[in-house]
A and B are shown apart, each in its own frame.
Chain A
Amino acid sequence: MATDRSQRIRREWLAKLVWPVAALALLLAFNLLFTPGFFHLEVREGHLYGQLITILNHGAKVMLLALGMTLVIATGGVDLSVGAVMAIAGAVAAQLINAPGVPFPAVILAALAAAVVAGAWNGMLVGGFRIQPIVATLILMVAGRGIAQLITDGQIITFTDARLVYVGNGHLLGLPFPVTIVLAMLAVTALLARKTAVGLFVEAVGDNETASRYAGVSARTVKFMTYVFSGLCAGMAGLVAASNIKCADSNHAGLFLELDAILAVVVGGTALTGGRFYLVGSLVGALLIQALTTTMYARNVSADVAPVPKAIVIVAVCLLQSETFRRKIAGLVRRRPA
């Protein structure tokens, strides 16, 4: 009985993971065959380098966003503001690191706190005032970059502080530090979701909000907290993004990354309508998107047309996840021999 149960759960999990993983594997296989040097790994000064590592490293920002976005989407919401929140966090960090006498931990905490406040604003609008998530988070998506501009006084603020530069460019145990952050956040999120009742509440609210409220779940608080958490994740991604380029660029930091994050979550098997969520699936989705981008670069596809093959692959994965589509295809295949 006990094995039955765990098998059932694992099967549900695996079924959701199959398509994004298959797409990723296919893409990597394609590169193995046709892109010379794609799988080349080397160790320089004790750090790993290579296209695969680049995918992990560059995918870190979207992976971080996708973790928070997964919980938000599981409640039936969406957070469009994460890109702008990244800009805010980067701006705060860059301003404070250049200010004399601010200790480094305070810089990091202040940047994350600003992101959390932004998330709380979203959460208040969606949870407290029941404003539609798209509209509520659109406000900060638009206004957030303005806020970041205010913080940086309209300038691009550069910095050279080695510790802040390490966040996006350093290595820990051979792996790029952003990857370490992702792994740590995955562990934290998974613990939060599965070892507390947060995951149950999020899924219950996303699946049937009325019934959850009648069962005593505070849907308002649950939603509020998911947006706060999404803000926190965006803050971390913002630090990585600023650190990567050693400056805070309010106009371009995290631009359009909210769309990649939403895509990653959907590709990973979590439905936009809310309910069951799959954290690992979202990360695989983010990796798939990044692998596509990296493949384009490696194959010298011009940046202007790169979104087209990307879109095709994503549409394909989404279609494969749709049961209706699979049934239709199965029907066609079955009819033909007859």
Chain B
Amino acid sequence: MGQEAPTERVLLEMRGISKGFPGVQALDAVDFTVRRGEVHALMGENGAGKSTLIKVLTGVYRRDAGRVVLDGRPIDPRSPKVAEALGLSTVYQEVNLIPHLSVAENICLGRQPTRFGLIRWRAIARRAVEALARVDLAIDVAQPLSSCSIAIQQMVAIARALDVSARLLILDEPTSSLDATEVEELFSVVRKLRGQGMGIVFITHFLDQMYEIADRVTVLRDGRLVGEYETAGLPRVRLVSLMIGKEYVEAEAAPKAPPPKAAGKPPFLEVRGIGRKGAIAPMDLAIAEGEVLGLAGLLGSGRTEVARLLFGIDRAETGEVRVGGRPVVLHSPRRAIREGFAFTPENRKVEGIIPNLSARENIVLALQANRGAWRALPRRRQLEIADRFIRALNIKTPGPEQTVGNLSGGNQQKVLLARWLATEPRLLILDEPTRGIDVGAKAEVEKLIQALRAEGLAILFISSELEEVVRTSQRVIVLRDRAKVGELAGREVDERTIMRTIAGHEHGD
């Protein structure tokens, strides 16, 4: 700890923080130090432990082990309210204010100045104006919050956080719904606060923004501390490999499968300039039959957004889509399904399974929906289909009538795959198909994808695990900050090149 900054500059010191949940060690002896007057970024992939660390700090969770010292005094906040009183203020990714209340009410909510138990409205307005002045905002505090732009709402949230005489400000992905100029506004406020000597913790998935604003960065991975670095001395490629946990020298040069045979035919899916504001900048994309196209990029880079546009869940604002050379408007999942599309969403529980229905019902649902309500599949036929896929995909269930919510994550994922395979799709969009499932099931899903590709399906494969993308895909599109930044094919498809492209270097050597 010799390289630590002089102790008088240290504002917050967390040492050896551990936190476990049933089945997971979310944090394992993590150290984290924030100095006065610095912006300190906290980086790491999904599940690295960033939010757990913040929640331990702000009293949402109690730590299992470790020590937290704020301004030289050990603290152990038991609730977010206690943490707030200590001067730890948090602004979350989703603006968690109340849209229908006024700006002033939102700023003072829960700590309204009162006299004889009655609220002093004028004092509220005055305090709100003062608080907003600290973030250089002069707006009508009586207007409802919902009439403000998201950026202003974010500022109001920060003003609210600062209102409690904050010493440490925690910004948890504050920029994910802001556009470039709004981010600039936010950053100028952050710089001003830094100038006043406040410590600021900044969590983001955007590398560019991190490099723009942060003085230091602490990288976490799998609940462990990877290290603390000066941002100025940390090359991007190095940062990405620290986050992902792969040195690029390790990247295996596995021979890629030859490009698909159908060279003369137009690709099954051809997309030009498809985009939607706030989701993904206009981009091109093509997938041939018998090909796996990988989508790589960090979290929040726009991977899922592309899938949602292609499946008609969100309407594309620009661009055109051709299926087998024919122009198509994908305005709903039903329309996409009719074109032979299938989609297993990233958030399996919320968007995928029907938890209280049986495996059989889950498996036949898409097929039945495509046939319509009146051409019902007879029960016998449903059981045949369910049994066939339970065997083919090796779904571990007591039987086809088992409630799907009771199956393990990997088996739920297989049920979803079965649901789509039963419709005999031509394009399979797989968003994080192996997330949260155990290693064995993972390998099975990957093997299945290869088998389906060999049968001539077009597959769009989205994963945050680069290794998996490289193993599975013939071509890879790389996304960064909600835009396509590169397309790799053949021998370029390796982790090193993908990482370099994500980090913003030209690919190739």
Q: Give the shortest distance, in Å, between B315 (CB) and chain A (any CB).
A: 14
Is B356 part of the binding interface, using a Cβ–Cβ cutoff of 8 Å?
yes
Q: A5-B383, A197-B376, A201-B369 are in contact. Are A218 and B401 (CB under 8 A)?
A: no
In the bound complex, CA of A275 to CA of B354 (Å): 9
Residues of B within 8 A of A9 (CB): 401
Pick the contact of A210 from B351, B365, B375 — CB < 8 Å? B351
B333-358 CB contact bits vs A (8 Å, 1 = yes)? 11001000001010000111111110
- What is the size category of the interface that chain A forms with chain B? 20 to 34
Q: Give the shortest distance, in Å, between A190 (CB) and chain B (any CB).
A: 14
In the bound complex, CA of A197 to CA of B351 (Å): 21
Which residue among A197, A213, A276 has the maximum number of chain B CB atoms within 10 Å of its CB?
A197
Residues of A within 8 A of B376 (CB): 195-197
In the bound complex, CA of A195 to CA of B343 (Å): 28
Is A1 part of the binding interface, using a Cβ–Cβ cutoff of 8 Å?
yes
- What is the size category of the interface that chain B forms with chain A? 20 to 34
Interfacial residues of chain A within 174-229, with CB under 8 A of chain B in the complex: 195-198, 200-201, 203-204, 207-208, 210-218
Residues of A within 8 A of B371 (CB): 197
Q: A1-B399, A204-B361 are in contact. Are A214 and B333 (CB under 8 A)?
A: yes
In the bound complex, CA of A204 to CA of B375 (Å): 17
Interfacial residues of chain B within 428-452, with CB under 8 A of chain A in the complex: none
Q: Give the shortest distance, in Å, between B504 (CB) and chain A (any CB).
A: 34
Q: Give the shortest distance, in Å, between A202 (CB) and chain B (any CB).
A: 10
In the bound complex, CA of A210 to CA of B311 (Å): 13
Is B373 part of the binding interface, using a Cβ–Cβ cutoff of 8 Å?
yes
* B373 in contact with A197 (CB, 8 Å): yes
In the bound complex, CA of A279 to CA of B334 (Å): 29
Is A4 part of the binding interface, using a Cβ–Cβ cutoff of 8 Å?
yes
Is A40 part of the binding interface, using a Cβ–Cβ cutoff of 8 Å?
no
Residues of B within 8 A of A299 (CB): none
In the bound complex, CA of A50 to CA of B217 (Å): 83
Q: A1-B399, A5-B400 are in contact. Are A211 and B351 (CB under 8 A)?
A: yes
In the bound complex, CA of A211 to CA of B333 (Å): 11
* A210 in contact with B419 (CB, 8 Å): no
Pick the contact of B357 from A195, A196, A207, A210 — CB < 8 Å? A207
* A207 in contact with B370 (CB, 8 Å): no
* A211 in contact with B353 (CB, 8 Å): yes
Residues of B within 8 A of A218 (CB): 334, 369
Which residue among B333, B334, B357, B376 has the maximum number of chain A CB atoms within 10 Å of its CB?
B357
Is A8 part of the binding interface, using a Cβ–Cβ cutoff of 8 Å?
yes
In the bound complex, CA of A218 to CA of B376 (Å): 16
Interfacial residues of chain A within 50-65, with CB under 8 A of chain B in the complex: none
Q: A207-B354, A216-B366 are in contact. Are A8 and B333 (CB under 8 A)?
A: no
B363-393 CB contact bits vs A (8 Å, 1 = yes)? 0111011111111110000010000000000
* A5 in contact with B354 (CB, 8 Å): no
Residues of B within 8 A of A210 (CB): 350-351
In the bound complex, CA of A201 to CA of B368 (Å): 9
Which residue among A4, A207, A211, A214 has the maximum number of chain B CB atoms within 10 Å of its CB?
A214
Pick the contact of B366 from A1, A203, A215, A276 — CB < 8 Å? A215
Residues of A within 8 A of B69 (CB): none
Q: Give the shortest distance, in Å, between B480 (CB) and chain A (any CB).
A: 27
In the bound complex, CA of A213 to CA of B331 (Å): 13
Q: A5-B399, A200-B365, A207-B355 are in contact. Are A214 and B383 (CB under 8 A)?
A: no
Q: Give the shortest distance, in Å, between B240 (CB) and chain A (any CB).
A: 32
Residues of A within 8 A of B373 (CB): 196-198, 201
Q: Give the shortest distance, in Å, between B383 (CB) and chain A (any CB).
A: 7
Interfacial residues of chain A within 6-25, with CB under 8 A of chain B in the complex: 8-9
Residues of B within 8 A of A275 (CB): 356-357
Residues of A within 8 A of B399 (CB): 1, 4-5, 8
* B374 in contact with A196 (CB, 8 Å): yes
- Nearest neighbor of A12 in chain B, beta-carbon distance: B401
Is B281 part of the binding interface, using a Cβ–Cβ cutoff of 8 Å?
no
* B372 in contact with A204 (CB, 8 Å): no
A264-303 CB contact bits vs B (8 Å, 1 = yes)? 0000000000011000000000000000000000000000
Residues of B within 8 A of A5 (CB): 383, 399-401
Pick the contact of A204 from B313, B350, B352, B357 — CB < 8 Å? B357
Residues of B within 8 A of A200 (CB): 357, 361, 364-365, 368
- Nearest neighbor of A204 in chain B, beta-carbon distance: B354
Residues of A within 8 A of B383 (CB): 5
Residues of B within 8 A of A213 (CB): 333
- Nearest neighbor of B343 in chain A, beta-carbon distance: A214
Residues of A within 8 A of B345 (CB): 214
In the bound complex, CA of A214 to CA of B352 (Å): 8
Q: Give the shortest distance, in Å, between A191 (CB) and chain B (any CB).
A: 11
- Nearest neighbor of A274 in chain B, beta-carbon distance: B356
Residues of B that sit less than 8 Å from A by CB? 311, 313, 333-334, 337, 343, 345, 350-357, 361, 364-366, 368-377, 383, 399-401, 419
Residues of A that sit less than 8 Å from B by CB? 1, 4-5, 8-9, 195-198, 200-201, 203-204, 207-208, 210-218, 275-276
Q: List 19 A-B contacts (CB under 8 A).
A: A5-B400, A196-B374, A197-B373, A200-B368, A201-B373, A203-B356, A208-B350, A208-B354, A211-B354, A212-B369, A214-B311, A214-B333, A214-B345, A214-B351, A215-B366, A217-B365, A218-B334, A218-B369, A276-B357
Shortest 5 CB-CB contacts between residues of A and residues of B: A216-B369, A216-B337, A215-B366, A197-B376, A217-B369
Contacts A211-B354, A215-B369, A275-B356 aside, 18 further interface pairs with beta carbons under 8 A come to A1-B399, A195-B376, A196-B373, A197-B371, A200-B361, A201-B368, A201-B369, A207-B356, A208-B353, A208-B355, A210-B351, A211-B353, A214-B345, A216-B337, A216-B366, A216-B370, A275-B357, A276-B356
